[in-house]
Amino acid sequence: MHANIGRCGQGLTKIPRFGSNCLRSGFVYWQSNSHCFRRWSSFQTPRSPDTTRTIFSGIQPTGVPHLGNYLGALREWVRLQNDTTEGTTLYFSIVDLHALTVPQESAQLRRWRKEAFATLLAVGLDPSRSTIFYQSSVQAHAELFWILCTVASMGYLSRMTQWKSKLQLPDDTTLDNSATRSRLRLGLFAYPVLQAADILVHRATHVPVGEDQKQHLEFSRNIANSFNHIYGSVFPSPEALISPAKRVMSLKEPTLKMSKSHVDERSRILLTDSPDEIHKKIKAALTDSDTMITYDPIRRPGVSNLLELLGHFEGKSCQDLALEFQSTSLRALKENLASYISNHLRPIRDKYISLMDDKTGYLDDVSEQGARAARANAELTMRQVREVMGL
């Protein structure tokens, strides 16, 4: 099923409820810029055409985005935006409430929010085509989070891996241990419920993410189904769009994913790094003692990660690249990769710098415009949710 937002008369947007069949009656919602109208319809809203899609995704402002965020998510967001057809709406959010699930220093969080916003524009998101907003500016995300908490299963949440990895606990950790329970904060444990609320409040049908988020997407589908089962069909079942760059690995510990919060800054390439910094980080990337270039992610994760990175820029397979570089050296591979990355990131970095230096309030204006549009869309969902729940 798909979000069904169709133009229906000048300045009005029709938002029918999701129905599993075509024969039920229900409220039909109509939205103008300032009002939302409702009427009872005895006709079931038709199933939306397959071309109608609502895309939602988010990024945490926990540091300047890195190459993993870019290849695993941001580059796909831009591609989806630029390839978008009529009937597709796009929402991209700086999910600042999620960032609070680990301790944050307020001045730093303020700076990271702005940096993340500037990065989204710098990589090519266009506010005239995509709605870009801070999650905390749209209170409906928090309201729906609470409502979904009333249907979320503790058992399911306890099996999720994110709270364990953030607390550096093994994946088989359970809540039986009292030391674990006392370290675990409710917000971190409930992170997937807030993520489900982010997606469902915009009635998203497709969610472009890196592979690390697949488990959370499954949870969102599960919670949407549970809610629909109890209260009737309100939410579509969101589908993950996993980027071809499933998991970009750390340059220093290539068995771990590249991450904003890894202690070693040389483990990641920031989208704002200078060519000099990029060359230094790639040069220092951990490989093994074998000087031959072969692609073997299990036994040779370091060199394989470099080949994968080059493959994402050159559009070639890792096996082909390994053959191409077989008669050269690791140094040549690293230099080639560093040049590709710095050439690709140069315009992004330039735009980022000019956005961060801007004194006209442009970023604030864009974020306010995005928040207004996101609030209006989320409110339509919340009216249906409150209605079916008797609130």
Please tell me whether residue 64 binds ligand AQP under the rule CB under 6 A.
no
Span from 60-68, 215-223, 300-308, 370-378 in contact with ligand AQP (CB under 6 A): 60-68
Pick from 197, 217, 223, 258 the residue near ligand AQP by CB under 6 A: 258
Region binding ligand AQP by CB under 6 A among candidate stretches 136-144, 193-201, 259-267, 299-307: 259-267
Which is closer to ligand AQP, CB of 163 or CB of 235?
163
When the beta carbons of 70 and 227 are compared against ligand AQP, the nearer one is 70
- Find out whether 305 and 254 touch, Cβ atoms under 8 Å: yes
Among 72, 127, 192, 311, binds ligand AQP (CB under 6 A): 72
Three-state secondary structure of the chain: CCCCCEECCCCCEEEECCCCCCCCCEEEEEECCCCEEEEEECCCCCCCCCCCEEEEEEECCCCCCEHHHHHHHHHHHHHHHHCCCCCEEEEEEECHHHHCCCCCCHHHHHHHHHHHHHHHHHHCCCCCCCEEEEHHHCCHHHHHHHHHHCCCCHHHHHHCCHHHHHCCCCCCCCCCCHHHHHHCCHHHHCHHHHHHHHHHHCCCCEEEECHHHHHHHHHHHHHHHHHHHHHCCCCCCCEEEECCCCCCECCCCCCCECCCCCCCHHHCCECCCCHHHHHHHHHCCCCCCCCCCCCCCCCCHHHHHHHHHHHHHHCCCHHHHHHHHCCCCHHHHHHHHHHHHHHHHHHHHHHHHHHHHCCCCHHHHHHHHHHHHHHHHHHHHHHHHHHHHCC
Active site (annotated) includes residue 283: no
Residue 248 interacting with ligand AQP (CB under 6 A) = yes
209 interacts with ligand AQP by CB under 6 A: yes
CB of 246 vs ligand AQP, minimal distance in Å: 6
101 binds ligand AQP (CB under 6 A): no
Taking contact as CB under 6 A, which single stretch among the options 48-56, 244-252, 279-287, 298-306 is the one that binds ligand AQP? Answer: 244-252
Residue nearest ligand AQP by beta-carbon distance: 72
Residue tagged active-site, from 114, 164, 252, 260: 260
Residue 60 within binding range of ligand AQP, rule CB under 6 A: yes
| Of 127 and 210, CB closest to ligand AQP | 210
- Applying CB under 6 A, the span of 4-12, 58-66, 223-231, 383-391 interacting with ligand AQP comes to 58-66
- Print the binding letters for residues 307-346 with ligand AQP: x by CB under 6 A, - otherwise: ----------------------------------------
Query: Which residues are identified as catalytic?
Result: 166, 257, 260
Residues in contact with ligand AQP by CB under 6 A are 59-60, 62, 68-69, 72-73, 209-210, 212-213, 245, 247-248, 257-261
